[in-house]
Amino acid sequence: MDEAIVSYVRRHHNLLIGEATAERIKKDFGIARTPADGTGLIIQIKGRDLVNGVPKEISINQAQIADALSEPIGTIIEGVRIALENTAPELAADIVDQGIVLTGGGALIRELDDMLRDATGLPVTVAEDPLTCVAIGTGRAMEDPAFRGVLLQA
């Protein structure tokens, strides 16, 4: 997603931004679909002008960020669809009942849960602490004697 933002800003604004700037844009302003008002929030970003080679500041809006993220988000949605098609029937029944829980940094993208809900027809929620919940859960599972042998062999 960060690479998609860097590439979008380079193509559309002739501005080179770093990975840290792209990460900040994604985390603070990233949105999965165009905002209802057509533009959303407007932010200022700084980088190096590729035409003149000098530092420059531009304004971009959330609609442009949504456009930049459309390809990676489309890939995520397609991956979820494929995973669901190849899911065992018993697990599929649990997913229908329990829904999908988003974890990791991508879960922080606004409206990604709504887009997945629309694409799959399943309930989708964002984990309480999406950045650390997987690591915390794995640690708890490793402390549980019932799972220790399984996780240590993997």
Nearest C-alpha neighbor of 58 from the set 6, 19, 14: 14
Burial readout 84-97 (b: 16 or more C-beta within 10 A, e: otherwise): beeeeeeeeeeeee
Give the pLDDT band of residue 150 (cuts 50, 70, 90): low
Give the pLDDT band of residue 127 (cuts 50, 70, 90): very high
SS3 5: helix
* Lowest-pLDDT choice from 37-46, 121-130, 145-154: 145-154
Pairing of strands 124-126, 15-16: unpaired
pLDDT, one tens digit per residue, over 79-109 is 999 999 999 988 999 999 999 999 988 888 9
Give me the chain's average pLDDT, please.
92
Give the predicted TM-score (pTM) of the model: 0.82
pLDDT in the model for residue 151: 58
Q: Could you tell me the two tokens for 17?
A: 């931004």
pLDDT in the model for residue 149: 66
Environment class of 100 (CB within 10 Å of its CB; exposed 0-12, middle 13-18, buried 19+): middle
Region label for 69, one of left (φ > 0), alpha (ψ between -120 and 50) or beta (otherwise): alpha
Please, what are the domains in the chain?
A: 2-68 (3.90.640.10), 76-153 (3.30.420.40)
pLDDT in the model for residue 144: 83
Please check the confidence at residue 4 and state whether its pLDDT lies above 90.
yes
